Amino acid sequence: MKKFVSAMLAATMALSLAACGSTADTSSEASESTSTAASTDSTAAESGATGEAASGTPIKLGGIGPITGATAVYGTAVKNGEELAVNEINAAAGYTVFDWKFEDDEGDAEKALNAYNTLKDWDMQVLVGPVTSTPSLSVGAETVNDNMFMLTPSASAEDVANCGDNVFQMCFTDPNQGKVSADYIADNALGTKIGVIYDSSDAYSTGIYDAFTTEAEAKGLEIVTAEAFNSDNKSDLSTQLAKCSDAGADLVFLPIYYTEASQILVAANKSGYEPTFFGCDGMDGILAVEGFDTSLAENLMMLCPFSAYGEDETTKTFVSAYEEAYGSTPNQFAADAYDCVYAIYQCVQAGKINGDMSASEICDALKTEFTTMSFGGTTGENQTWDASGMISKAPKVYVIKNGAYELAA
Amino acid sequence: MTKLKNLKKSTKSNLITFGIVILFYIVVQILSGADLLTSSFSGQLVPICAYVVLAVSLNLTVGILGELSLGHAGFMSVGAFAGTLVWVLLCETAPAWLALILAFVVGGIAAGLFGVVVGVPVLRLSGDYLAIVTLAFGEIVKNFMNACYLGYDSTGIHFSLKDSASMGLADDGVVLINGAMGITGVTKASNFTIGIVLVLITLIVVLNLIHSRAGRAITAIRDNEIAAQSIGIQITRYKLMAFITSAVFAGLAGVLYSLNFSTLVAKKFDYNTSILILVFVVLGGIGNIRGSVIAAAILTVLPELLRSMNDYRMLIYAIVLIVMMIFNQSPQMIAWRKRIAERFAARRAKGKHPTKEVG
């Protein structure tokens, strides 16, 4: 009987939690919808004046990313970036341009496909996602069959864009990052003996590493050692760093995410080893790592399309709005997601797509539009896409000075 | 009807299990014919079949052989990679059905071979020790496949455990397994019909094995190893038989699962997946094959049904799991359910024979 009581208690707890969750959600949704309703009222007069009908069927925008699991940090950033952009656009336009829904994929190919199917049942018309590479590959193949437009903010494996001509990327591909990094290091003579520490269990990290080694060889850079770790043994990376030190590396290339990179910087500080550290876009966010002494990141270089300390108007607006809404500094994941939504909005404004078109018609229209248009956002000006769906934008190298990003010379 | 009644109890129970699977298949086919299925549900049909096969095969080790295995995802991984490699290599040249059958056969055999390799030394252990060793096996497979680079070019097959550059492929080379990225660009081949056929084959083999002479020997070993040995049962032989059969079907399920997606990564087959399969078995009832089938199907669909709960999804999934476990397996709950059932039976009897009550 005791067990029965405990089961009933568990059930009531679950129900009450569910109730809390749903009420909280509905109230926030309600406030959102009222705010959009209010703005509709205020702009109704204006639109009446211009004579342009400021309304239309909303376009159903779906997002997929990990909200739970090991990669939840990135998924949450993307979710926030998308949400912010959608809210801004809807408020500015005065009517609901985008209906937006975000589904969790736990960073897993199977769950990502489930999330995609759920969104399809919701009649999604454009997909902004998934966040990580493996889910994007499995969802990408499916979008090709459905002729659904897919724009991923951050899945950077080269194979993602190669899924089909309807799959586009907002971020650089991994090989591209590796190649550009090697070029930059060689051209600016940042180091002669190079050590690499990478995550061999991660597609992003190995993708950059492979291209980096190939290009480094071509450019005559000497890679003295390449040390790998994997997701199971990344709690202490001082061994890998010590090996770089022993090999006499004067530049350590870190094609890894910021959490692990922060550990390496701490270990380097402890052992007094002071090479130049060079990372890629996964490094963005290192200044926000909890409990990390940001002074250790001083002089860290990184190849990254986005800087939250940027001076241009778009970035400033985005960063302050994001900080206000979510209480943290946005990283490049959030910025890429924000840009994704605005890139699609640019096509809406150009009158190329609207909510009355089917997903397939929108896909065809967006395919032509994306390969011909130029887009300016928080991650760079004059961004263009080639027919395969890969982006081309100017790579920027930042160096951390006084706790902020500074464009490297 | 009388014929049905005269059937052995076990045969009748088996027929019900098959009936459930076939009925599920027919209902789904009718619904999909009428276009009533959501894409969310139809997308889960193949994973459901794969998890059912995994749960049934693990139940053979855990429930019938009585040994706790925590490395089932390892066998699944071996089968998935072997089968997918065959499929990728053959699907463009050979006819699809032949390539598919070969993929399943190779996947099953590869997993079975690993079953032998692991089983021979490991089955000398039992209980907790065996559980730890199988857990380690699963991790070894995962980490090996994560670091495995395989490709071929005109000069032959290239292999490396370091990175794709060190394979030294020529320009015309094709990368088959690309380390952490695994196998990508797989043409999907699995469908619900193949899945159901595999489920039925698994059920036929496993249920027949359980009710055969060998099966009784295996359960005898489970119940008392020393007693079984004393009456001349070859312990190692029967233990291996159960363990390898279990591994083969895990491999087949791996092939079915991986061919449902365009990408295959080793990371998927970590101990979380092993534990997940074990949860299916425990929830369905250890040694209860039909329970495994139903539990695997329900627990695969459940997280998707809870999507509307947003952020509370995983929390509620866990709570529902706890409640289901207690309701299904705790002795008090079983006794309580029995009492309720008896009360219902009594009431029905009352309704049927009101005169008896008076007398």
Residues A279 and A258: their CA atoms lie apart, in Å, by: 9
Region A170-189 average pLDDT = 91
Q: Is the pLDDT of residue A36 over 50?
A: no
Region A220-239 average pLDDT = 87
Distances in Å between the alpha carbon of A285 and those of A113, A302, A304, A405?
28, 11, 11, 11
Mean pLDDT of chain A: 84
Considering the segment(s) A175-304 as one domain, its CATH architecture is 3-Layer(aba) Sandwich (3.40)
Residues A170 and A130: their CA atoms lie apart, in Å, by: 12
Residue A225: beta bridge partners?
A: A195
pLDDT band at A37 (very low <50, low <70, confident <90, very high): very low
Residue of A nearest to B320 (CA): A11
Q: How far is B36 from chain A (nearest CA, A)?
A: 12
> Regarding predicted confidence, which is higher, B295 or B5?
B295
> Regarding predicted confidence, which is higher, A29 or A106?
A106
Q: Is the pLDDT of residue B355 over 60?
A: no
Residue of B nearest to A162 (CA): B185
Structure confidence by residue, pLDDT tens digits, B102-134: 999 999 999 999 999 999 888 887 778 888 999
CA-closest candidate to residue A351, choices A338, A362, A341, A337: A362
CB contact under 8 A, B165 and A22: no
Least confident of A224-238, A264-278, B206-220: A224-238
Specify whether the CB–CB gap between B287 and B59 falls below 8 A. yes
Secondary structure element (H or E) that encloses residue A398, with its range: strand A397-401
Instruction: Report residue A137 as tokens.
Output: 């590959």
The domain over range B11-32+41-310 is classified in CATH as 1.10.3470: yes
Residue A59: beta bridge partners?
A: A98
CA-based angle B30:A117:B309, to the nearest 5?
105
Pairing of β A222-229 and β A167-169: unpaired
Amino acid code (one letter) for B114 = F
Percent of chain B with pLDDT over 70: 96
Residue of A nearest to B36 (CA): A121
Structure confidence by residue, pLDDT tens digits, A44-95: 334 333 334 457 889 999 999 999 888 888 899 999 999 999 999 999 998 8
CA-closest candidate to residue A148, choices A106, A117, A170: A117
Instruction: Report residue A260 as tokens.
Output: 């692990």
Region B156-169 average pLDDT = 82
Residue in B180, B310, B316 closest to A25 by CB: B310
pLDDT band at A7 (very low <50, low <70, confident <90, very high): low
What's the pLDDT at B5? Answer: 66
Residue in A2, A11, A134 closest to B323 by CB: A11
Instruction: Give yes or no for B318 touching A (CB within 8 A).
Output: no
| CATH 3.40.50.2300 domain extents, chain A | 56-172+313-392, 175-304
CATH number for the domain formed by residue range(s) A56-172+313-392: 3.40.50.2300
User: Order of strands, edge to edge, in the sheet holding A380-385?
Assistant: A375-377, A380-385, A391-392
CA-closest candidate to residue B257, choices A107, B265, B61: B265
Residues B216 and B8: their CA atoms lie apart, in Å, by: 16
CB contact under 8 A, B163 and A226: yes
